[in-house]
């Protein structure tokens, strides 16, 4: 396969690819040991949106921004929406947060105390109000609920209470809204997590109804898990709602998507396409969920969406007919090679031309570096408090 | 809690505990590098059953034997059943085998070739015929199906074909029979496995119907997986069919249950009891699935069922009221201690008495060693071919 | 083996067991998501020492307290030592800290910039000065040095600079002082860590000299690592300096030692004893390094030292002669049973008597709960800033 | 960087790259569940060498073949050498085998029984005799020694006996010969392995002397291990003797090198080059150690050596100056990008030309497929017993 002709055939399918950015990627983040601050970090939700819009301006890939409540709470969401639109982006998924209030020390939607569960439910209802105001489709729920010691918690009781709490929230969902439940293998709970795997998320959302789906965060699996298999399975079951993209070497490291294992990202995107999760007819949402602990934030986000785009192009390049033929004839090495041929194809030059032909910078990383934006925010964002996770 | 009074209160609940033995545990087994033979190893299915019956005679815990087809194929199952009953045990679960025929190199129930799928389906129908003859309730299906290289197989197509094949088998099931689907993280396939996790097994059996359930093999999970959580979840969803007990340090090591992480076995059994999976009203089957690569086989099986019994006793000793009170009040260390108090209770003396009072040897390991059975089989089982996995 | 007679034979060997407490265990700690504060948390180094001394008063097991610099920096270490001695404990290991200064974002002892390396070296020299003042023997060095992205750092250059920096620090060591180098698999660096395994720590300290040894933190290994093997190896090589005890399910969870896998703790302590690392003639230091994120801190520390004591007792109970005989005759199950017999022996009653006979509370957890200490510190430690990791 | 100019600059450094093939890759292999045979599989050592020579003829990359004793035992090694040379290759590393004799059930070089240890030592001395006859430089020792149950073995005693046995073997080494000790995380022993990690191998070979070095098998590590770090460290310590290349998703899967995680292979080769382990002045040996369970064997080996060559080319393309500049200035994303630019460069076209210019097939996989060799061996190798691991 020559890259040239191959790329021409798939170029159109790259149109309209959208990867939602997390507002919190622009604030400071770190580990339990230390959060390093950097010059130019936003001090307001608007500044975060301005940064996200900058990523979109340089890449054309990131037309929306996910908000985290209460981190991104504002008085006037209409005004915030208008601000976003003025900057060329829109507000996207609303993420709830039930892990930073002292009341949630022993759980939120799963808590033994009905009052605390209600508080957590109410928080989600508030998120739904915000979604009504912003026009967001998705309420994404990631729960820190779990326990640290065997015996600390009644696993079964918590699972039942979780089902009940989710049902209450689901009932309030608008006709065009979705509840997206994220699972995570471990952390911050260290013995058990209430939604630790795709099976649990699947069982819970299936009990809720059609508008409840699963979010697959690529960093939230046990060592050695075949993530593309889960992608396939959730698409097959009609329950893959969205991706939180990032990458990891060991745990939920929240590194730049594609940085740790680019071939894995390729395989994931191949299964997305194979299963109908890509393109205008799919409702699968692509999002980033990453931390930029030591690298620059805006370039980190640009790098991330480019990585997804480049790998999508490679995955689109797979010669499906040749692949199927090799698979059906038991030609192990032949089938493998069809996949590798696409993976090893260097699409960077083609993509640079593709971007240029659409009025985008051929090299968004360089264009951003030369744009002066970073120097400007470092110079002007002085005083105030840099935003972070808290 | 004093062990004495504690034990008296739970002694009755130990009555009737039954742990099925795998016929193949009495044959030779090993790793890909080497299978070590040992004197006295059975050369026929009957000799395997005789050995299994011996384990039951010394422990009172193992009233049935699982068969593996074709390893345990015989001409006359009625005669085999009678032989078993004469020895004090009965025939139990029938395990199918679709991993040792050249035709299954690229899959069995998932194969791209309809003829090979049909062959694999037919094998399962034959197993059902055998079940009719033996009066077995459960058809246990563990599939080696998977692939070794990215691209080798169409993950989605295989999953769909699996569903179809299982449906065909399920249709033939008798009213009192169950299809039990086992999942496994990896091996012998190294890139993808078609039933790799409980979520996949759950989704597949749910699509089949009420008489399809999941088998949880304790060795078949990714590193760090909280297995007792899965026990809880499958019980909650009404889909926990049976256990394959064994233990592991790294992979599917098939070591003696309770040998690698006794506290994990305790937690698993606690969740079994907590979720209603233990006792006369439960349909959850307890089985061993182990290899005795370097240790003696019959003592290895005796040790295994004793481990399950001892840990069941400890799990029954948990003071549920105290546990619940501590859990509800957020007393982390108190709740943990309630669990640990039961785990650290030395039930061995009480169990020895319990056995003696029921006409069983107080110390089954010693009683077996002193019984002369091993010397006898070593002396008499001369000539012929020792059975193994093949 | 009857527990009674067994315990009597080993009771004397429990005398003088000492497990150093980390001052930071008494401050608040948590995850990157949230740090929960609790009433009564110390606001000064002295209050931390008072709490540590309380643990010792109730257990007799924790005669010293490790300090972390700069967290525990004071003006007058002589006064602090006197304060500790007045409370019945003494100051122990000094832990350096090179992970919370903005200068160390890209490394400390390994940094490319000689000025920053010198700053990190100077910090260690300051720690040595403090050791001279406190009479501490050990300088413990845990480095957060590492990188998050392939390419970010020159692995080799960093390793060479590390060797150089350590040599400079080692040179300044007093004749009775030791440099103890701790290794950690990952976190807070996510791609590479400069001292990730015992092999690296061993190679580095061997290059330094006799007074440089390794610290084994039980939570700092890859999944599936056989930690007791490393204990054996480091003792064999004469380089096991100390333990940081804690436990983990997945990563560096810093849970209470013995809480996640008590059998592993037993095996570790068995190898410590087997290899001469326990008792008056050994220089191996026992320390805790834990976080109490959701459980109470002082009871958490009491529980921890009791766990180590109880498991030490069990490990001492192993019938070495029987074990050796079984090992030498290839009696796999017999040898395993000798070990398990000791592990399953319930030593709690014997230990309660042992404590009572020495003027200690038979049940330290209960005695602390009933002592009123917690109520008192909650009532009196009002105002001020609770200490935590920062 | 344009690939064109980049490649020209490194083309010369690809000359002389040599990757040794394992004779056993051409025999049948599989898992403990099943070994699938394939038509054309060698029935003699000579046929294995003929196949290996074929790989070299099509790639120019594999000038030598490693032998496994006793699998490849012949009466006349001079004749075998001559046969190899006639086919354009030479005999390479001699691999000992102490895992398939009943005597080694509980260990070989570590066994408690001095007679069995001596038998294992004698086997290695015999291997050295063979090396004298074949002119081989390296004696590679991989030990299956270990245990399955806690208590089964005395870890310390075994380590000491291992040291003693190795010393006896080392003593007999010729002046130009090397002892290469391989480590492996687990399997076939499941509780402990006597040489489980690089640290143990390093400590053992360091005690032996200069001609004892370590073999790094890329599949023999715990999940999440940073292998390139170990490459760096062993090179730094002067103890990296050789590579056993393969790839893995979960365990020691022995898949084709570069198939599971090509980026990891790239990083490993980058560190090899960075540390002086590549090129005419290096003594680091490159070898494959793989099983072809389901794929064709000869094409599997061709694919493997091509993967190593392609990734070596990419690793050579790294712009070291730009990398160092970015690393020194703390430009995380810039440094990462320098690495990724090389990794993403498609060298396949350049390599095809490079091969053609040297009289090799531009596309060795296709050339082999079209050569008729496979059809010929399938037709002619009829009768006899196909070779496998036993």
* pLDDT tens digits, one per residue of A141-179: 999 999 999 999 999 999 999 999 999 999 999 999 999
Is pTM beyond 0.95? Reply is: yes
Q: Which of residues 253-272 of C touch B (CB under 8 A)?
A: 259, 261-264
Cα C172 to its chain centre, rounded Å, is 24
Question: DSSP 3-state helix, strand, coil percentages of chain D (rounded to 5)?
Answer: 50, 15, 40
C-alpha span between A94 and A83 (Å, rounded)? 17
First to last CA, chain A: 50
Question: DSSP 3-state helix, strand, coil percentages of chain C (rounded to 5)?
Answer: 45, 15, 40
Percent of chain D with pLDDT over 90: 97
Residue B224 Cα, gap to closest chain C Cα (Å): 6
B11 interface with D at CB cutoff 8 Å = no
Which of C346, C350, C364 is best to mutate for the B interface (most B CBs within 10 A)?
C346
Does B390 have pLDDT greater than 90? Answer: no
Cβ of A152 within 8 Å of Cβ of B332? The answer is: yes
Tell which residue, D196, D207, D137, has the closest CA to residue D165.
D207
C-alpha span between B298 and A233 (Å, rounded)? 41
Tell which residue, D39, D168, D169, has the closest CA to residue D94.
D169
Cβ of A337 within 8 Å of Cβ of D365? The answer is: yes
User: Which residue is closest to B34 within chain D, CA to CA?
Assistant: D100
C-alpha span between D174 and D134 (Å, rounded)? 13
Cβ burial of B379 (10 Å; 0-12, 13-18, 19+) is: exposed
Cβ of A275 within 8 Å of Cβ of B156? The answer is: yes
Q: What is the pLDDT of residues B119-146, one digit of tens each?
A: 999 999 999 999 999 999 999 999 999 9
Alpha-carbon distances, residue A89 vs A52, A56, A241, A259, A354 (angstroms) = 8, 8, 21, 26, 21
What is the full per-residue pLDDT of chain A (390 aa) written as tens digits?
444 469 999 999 999 999 999 999 999 999 999 999 999 999 999 999 999 999 999 999 999 999 999 999 999 999 999 999 999 999 999 999 999 999 999 999 999 999 999 999 999 999 999 999 999 999 999 999 999 999 999 999 999 999 999 999 999 999 999 999 999 999 999 999 999 999 999 999 999 999 999 999 999 999 999 999 999 999 999 999 999 999 999 988 899 999 999 999 999 999 999 999 999 999 999 999 999 999 999 999 999 999 999 999 999 999 999 999 999 999 999 999 999 999 999 999 999 999 999 999 999 999 999 999 999 999 999 999 999 987
The greatest distance separating any two alpha carbons of chain D, rounded to the nearest whole angstrom, comes to: 66
User: Which residue is closest to D255 within chain A, CA to CA?
Assistant: A333
Instruction: Provide CATH code, domain D15-318.
Output: 3.20.20.150
Give the phi and the psi of residue D355 in degrees, each rounded to 5.
-65, -45
Cα C62 to its chain centre, rounded Å, is 12
User: Which residue is closest to D103 within chain B, CA to CA?
Assistant: B36
Nearest CB partner across the interface for B223, out of A223, A230, A275: A223
The token pair that represents C380 in the structure block: 């009196």
Give the phi and the psi of residue A275 in degrees, each rounded to 5.
-95, 10
Q: Which of residues 220-239 of C touch D (CB under 8 A)?
A: 221-226, 228-230, 232-233, 235-237
All chains having 3 or more CB pairs closer than 8 angstroms to chain A: B, C, D
Let me know: does C99 contact C188? Beta carbons within 8 Å: yes
C-alpha gyration radius of chain B:
21
CA angle B262, C330, C4 (to 5 degrees): 50
CA angle C64, C65, C68 (to 5 degrees): 150
Q: What is the mean pLDDT of residues B5-17?
A: 93
* Residue B5: predicted pLDDT: 65
Q: Say which range, A87-96, A153-162, B16-25, C249-258, has the weakest mean pLDDT.
A: C249-258
* Residue B334: predicted pLDDT: 98
C77 interface with D at CB cutoff 8 Å = no
Does C308 have pLDDT greater than 80? Answer: yes
Cβ burial of A163 (10 Å; 0-12, 13-18, 19+) is: middle
Q: What is the pLDDT of residues D223-235, one digit of tens each?
A: 999 999 999 999 9
The token pair that represents C86 in the structure block: 């007045």
For residue D178, the cross-strand partners are D138
Q: What is the mean pLDDT of residues D94-111?
A: 97
Residue B130 Cα, gap to closest chain D Cα (Å): 23
C-alpha span between A25 and D50 (Å, rounded)? 58
Provide the pLDDT confidence category of residue B306 given band limits of 50, 70 and 90.
very high
Does D346 have pLDDT greater than 60? Answer: yes
Tell which residue, C296, C221, C287, C229, has the closest CA to residue C260.
C221
Q: What is the pLDDT of residues D153-192, one digit of tens each?
A: 999 999 999 999 999 999 999 999 999 999 999 999 999 9
Token pair 């689907």 is at which residue?
Answer: B181
Cβ of D336 within 8 Å of Cβ of C149? The answer is: yes
Residue B45 Cα, gap to closest chain A Cα (Å): 36
Q: What is the pLDDT of residues B224-254, one digit of tens each?
A: 999 999 999 999 999 999 999 999 999 888 9
Residues of chain D contacting residue C230, judged by C-beta atoms under 8 Å apart: 199
Residue C246 Cα, gap to closest chain D Cα (Å): 21
C-alpha span between C344 and D203 (Å, rounded)? 35
Residue D80 Cα, gap to closest chain B Cα (Å): 26
* Residue C252: predicted pLDDT: 86
All chains having 3 or more CB pairs closer than 8 angstroms to chain B: A, C, D
Cβ of B197 within 8 Å of Cβ of A202? The answer is: no
Three-state DSSP class for residue A253: coil
* Residue C389: predicted pLDDT: 83
Give the phi and the psi of residue D67 in degrees, each rounded to 5.
-105, 155
Which of D28, D30, D32, D247 is best to mutate for the B interface (most B CBs within 10 A)?
D32
Q: What is the mean pLDDT of residues B384-388?
A: 94
Nearest CB partner across the interface for D224, out of A3, A249, A332: A249
Give the phi and the psi of residue B244 in degrees, each rounded to 5.
-105, 105
For every residue of C72-135, DSSP letters joined together read: T--S-HHHHHHHHHHTT-EEEEEEP--SSSGGGTT-STT-SSHHHHHHHHHHHHHHHHHHHHHT
C-alpha span between B231 and A270 (Å, rounded)? 33
Cβ of A229 within 8 Å of Cβ of B324? The answer is: no
Three-state DSSP class for residue A43: coil
Tell which residue, B107, A247, B105, has the closest CA to residue D261.
A247
B80 interface with C at CB cutoff 8 Å = no
Q: Which of residues 117-176 of C touch D (CB under 8 A)?
A: 147-156, 159-160
For every residue of A298-328, DSSP letters joined together read: HHHHHHHHHHHHHHHHHHHTS-HHHHHHHHH
Residue B348 Cα, gap to closest chain A Cα (Å): 23
Give the phi and the psi of residue A192 in degrees, each rounded to 5.
-135, 150
Cβ of D335 within 8 Å of Cβ of C151? The answer is: yes
Q: Give the strand pairing for A178-182 and C138-142.
A: unpaired
How many residue contacts between A and C have a Cβ separation below 8 Å?
Answer: 105
User: Which residue is closest to A342 within chain D, CA to CA?
Assistant: D346
Q: What is the mean pLDDT of residues D96-123?
A: 97
C69: CB partners within 8 A, 6+ apart: C94, C95, C96, C97, C123, C126, C127, C130
Q: Give the strand pairing for C192-193 and C146-147.
A: antiparallel
User: Which residue is closest to A299 within chain D, CA to CA?
Assistant: D333
Tell which residue, A50, A24, A35, has the closest CA to residue A377.
A50
Residues of chain B contacting residue D185, judged by C-beta atoms under 8 Å apart: 250
The token pair that represents C284 in the structure block: 């191996």
Percent of chain C with pLDDT over 90: 97
C-alpha span between D355 and D290 (Å, rounded)? 25
SS3 sequence of B132-150: HHHCCCEEEECCCCEECCC
C-alpha span between A200 and A206 (Å, rounded)? 10
For residue A286, the cross-strand partners are A243
Nearest CB partner across the interface for D223, out of A224, A332, A348: A224
Cβ of B344 within 8 Å of Cβ of C348? The answer is: yes
Q: Which residues of C267-276 are buried (b: 16+ CB within 10 A; e: fewer)?
A: bbbbbbbbbe
Q: What is the mean pLDDT of residues B15-28?
A: 97
For residue A244, the cross-strand partners are A217, A287
C-alpha span between B380 and B136 (Å, rounded)? 31
Alpha-carbon distances, residue A209 vs A141, A214, B43, B210, B212 (angstroms) = 16, 12, 55, 21, 23
Q: Which residues of A195-207 are buried (b: 16+ CB within 10 A; e: fewer)?
A: bbbbbbbbbbbbe
Q: How high does pLDDT run on average in chain D?
A: 97
Residues of chain D contacting residue B29, judged by C-beta atoms under 8 Å apart: 32
Tell which residue, C49, C59, C55, has the closest CA to residue C85.
C49
C-alpha span between C227 and C387 (Å, rounded)? 32
Residues of chain D contacting residue B37, judged by C-beta atoms under 8 Å apart: 102
C99 interface with D at CB cutoff 8 Å = no
Q: What is the pLDDT of residues C77-91, one digit of tens each?
A: 999 999 999 999 999
Does D107 have pLDDT greater than 90? Answer: yes
Does B3 have pLDDT greater than 70? Answer: no
Nearest CB partner across the interface for A188, out of C31, C190, C191: C31
The H or E element spanning position B339 is helix B332-344
Residue B301 Cα, gap to closest chain A Cα (Å): 29
Residue C338 Cα, gap to closest chain D Cα (Å): 7
Q: What is the mean pLDDT of residues B350-369?
A: 98
How many residue contacts between B and D have a Cβ separation below 8 Å?
Answer: 105
Parse chain A into domains and list their residue ranges.
15-318
Residues of chain A contacting residue D229, judged by C-beta atoms under 8 Å apart: none
Residues of chain C contacting residue B294, judged by C-beta atoms under 8 Å apart: 332
C-alpha span between A302 and A62 (Å, rounded)? 9
Cβ of A261 within 8 Å of Cβ of D263? The answer is: yes
Residue A210 Cα, gap to closest chain B Cα (Å): 16
* Residue C5: predicted pLDDT: 65
Q: Give the strand pairing for A192-193 and A146-147.
A: antiparallel
Residues of chain A contacting residue D346, judged by C-beta atoms under 8 Å apart: 3, 344-346
Residue C343 Cα, gap to closest chain D Cα (Å): 11
The H or E element spanning position B375 is helix B373-380
User: Which residue is closest to B366 within chain C, CA to CA?
Assistant: C334
Q: What is the pLDDT of residues B83-133, one digit of tens each?
A: 999 999 999 999 999 999 999 999 999 999 999 999 999 999 999 999 999
The token pair that represents D198 in the structure block: 């690089």
Residue D249 Cα, gap to closest chain B Cα (Å): 6
C-alpha span between B68 and B76 (Å, rounded)? 15
Alpha-carbon distances, residue D338 vs C158, D107, D258, D309, D333 (angstroms) = 19, 48, 21, 20, 9
Cβ burial of D286 (10 Å; 0-12, 13-18, 19+) is: buried
Nearest CB partner across the interface for B222, out of A155, A222, A327: A222
Nearest CB partner across the interface for D233, out of C159, C236, C339: C159
C-alpha span between B266 and B28 (Å, rounded)? 29
C-alpha span between A139 and A205 (Å, rounded)? 13
């Amino acid at each position: 396969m020559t890259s040239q002709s191959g790329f021409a055939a798939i170029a159109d399918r790259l149109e309209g690819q959208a990867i939602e950015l997390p507002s919190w990627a622009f604030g400071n983040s770190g580990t339990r040991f230390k959060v390093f601050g950097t010059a130019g970090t936003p001090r307001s939700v608007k500044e975060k949106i301005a940064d996200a819009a900058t990523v979109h301006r340089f890449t054309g890939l990131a037309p929306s921004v996910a908000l985290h409540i209460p981190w991104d709470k504002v008085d006037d969401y209409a005004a915030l929406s208008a601000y976003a639109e003025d900057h060329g982006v829109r507000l996207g998924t609303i993420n709830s947060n039930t892990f930073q209030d002292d009341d949630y020390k022993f759980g939120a939607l799963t808590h033994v105390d009905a009052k605390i569960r209600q508080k957590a439910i109410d928080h989600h209802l508030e998120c739904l109000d915000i979604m009504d105001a912003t026009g967001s489709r998705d309420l994404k729920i990631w729960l820190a609920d779990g326990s640290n010691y065997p015996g600390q918690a009644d696993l079964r009781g918590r699972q039942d209470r979780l089902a009940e709490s989710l049902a209450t929230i689901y009932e309030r969902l608008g006709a065009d809204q979705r509840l997206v439940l994220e699972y995570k293998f471990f952390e911050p709970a260290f013995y058990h997590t209430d939604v630790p795997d795709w099976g649990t998320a699947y069982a819970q959302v299936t009990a809720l109804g059609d508008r409840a789906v699963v979010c697959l965060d690529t960093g939230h699996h046990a060592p050695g898990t075949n993530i593309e298999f889960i992608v396939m399975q959730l698409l097959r079951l009609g329950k893959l709602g969205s991706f939180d993209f990032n990458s990891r070497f060991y745990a939920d490291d929240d590194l730049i998507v594609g940085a740790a294992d680019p071939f894995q990202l390729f395989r994931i995107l191949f299964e997305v396409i194979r299963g109908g999760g890509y393109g205008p007819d799919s409702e699968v949402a692509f999002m980033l969920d990453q931390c930029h602990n030591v690298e620059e934030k805006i370039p980190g986000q640009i790098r991330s969406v480019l990585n997804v785009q480049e790998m999508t192009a490679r995955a689109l390049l797979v010669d499906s007919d040749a692949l199927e033929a090799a698979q059906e004839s038991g030609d192990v090495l032949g089938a493998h090679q069809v996949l590798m041929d696409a993976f090893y194809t260097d699409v960077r030059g083609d993509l640079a031309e593709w971007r240029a032909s659409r009025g985008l910078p051929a090299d968004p990383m360089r264009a951003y570096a030369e744009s002066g934006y970073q120097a400007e925010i470092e110079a002007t964002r002085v005083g105030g408090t840099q935003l972070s996770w808290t």
